Amino acid sequence: MPTGHVRQPVLERNRSLREKEKAKRNPLSKHLVKVYPVAFHKTHSSLSLSSLTFSHNSSESSSSSSLGFSSWDRNKVPKRGVVPPDHPHRDIDDRRLILDLVTVDERKGNVINVAKADVLKIHPDSNDGDLKRCHWITKSTDQAYVSFHDERWGVPIYEDSLLFELLTLSGMLMDQNWTQILTKQDLYREVFAGFDANVVAKMEEKEMEEIASNKKLMLEESRVRCIVQNAKCILKTANEHGSFSNYIWGGFLNFRPIINRFKYPKNVPLRTPKSEAISKDLLRRGFRLVGPVITYSFMQAAGMTIDHLVHCFRFSECLSLVEIQWNITDHVIM
């Protein structure tokens, strides 16, 4: 995605700072990113997903063809159903997908990396058009939005930089919908240094003003300041708990995602007691743009709660992923 309209001094300075920060510490392992594609505008409802204003109008697909995996690192996100040619078990079945998984050393309470595992593709013989998806995905839905649903949401995310990114993007739902956010995701990653909290937390007044002045980003200065504030809070929380992931996953879910079994969109809540508890604690710690509704959207995006409808092909896939990841079947089922 072109980034020429973003002021170069900010980008160059962020890249330089990011490289310096990376040199100071070992990078965390790469994980498959999944994000639930629900779009909503401002609402005072606390009842169900049916009250949301979904955005899947084809007129919003200005850059969907360039999104797909381009908005995330292609090296981080293997396509569903594709096995790396050098994988030792490729000959078992080409319909298996290799995913980077993480699990938890419960004795130490730390997130650790584990070997790659095979996840059986649930619908190996189905054409894309034949797959049953959540009801909010229709024939007119923007393709980037469809990819968002099919390829990203549902896999638990434990890496701090990715959690920071998802928390930030979820916060943008106050003013935009997911389709609008996705079309600018590459730009957001540029101006916020790949969502490296160490870099974002050090942003100065001039940098924040430059980002806010870029009309393409659709971010008011107050929103930019909230993002910088959240970066500082993430660093402080990580220092206290070892990582932001340890805090958000270990402190509220014991690192295990909530598995819901919703049949209809109206069953999917906008907020839950769990999101209210997390929101309350985030606000206490100084985080911004983290009300209960935004927090629940973040939980869905980060795979903390799996809300695919039961008839959706991704529900079974994500359920299988959790079982393999934990080698258990006793998930937290609501």
What residues are designated binding site? 134, 149, 308, 312
Task: Identify the three-state secondary structure at position 98.
Answer: strand
Q: Is 312 exposed, middle or buried (0-12, 13-18, 19+ CB in 10 A)?
A: buried
DSSP states of 52-70: S-----GGG-TTGGG-GGG
Rg, C-alpha atoms of the chain: 19
Contact 31, 162 (CB under 8 A): yes
Q: How far apart are CA 254 and CA 248, in angstroms?
A: 9
Q: Is 270 exposed, middle or buried (0-12, 13-18, 19+ CB in 10 A)?
A: buried
What residue numbers does the annotated binding site for Zn(2+) cover?
Answer: 134, 149, 308, 312
Q: How far apart are CA 309 and CA 57, in angstroms?
A: 21
- One-letter amino acid of 69: F
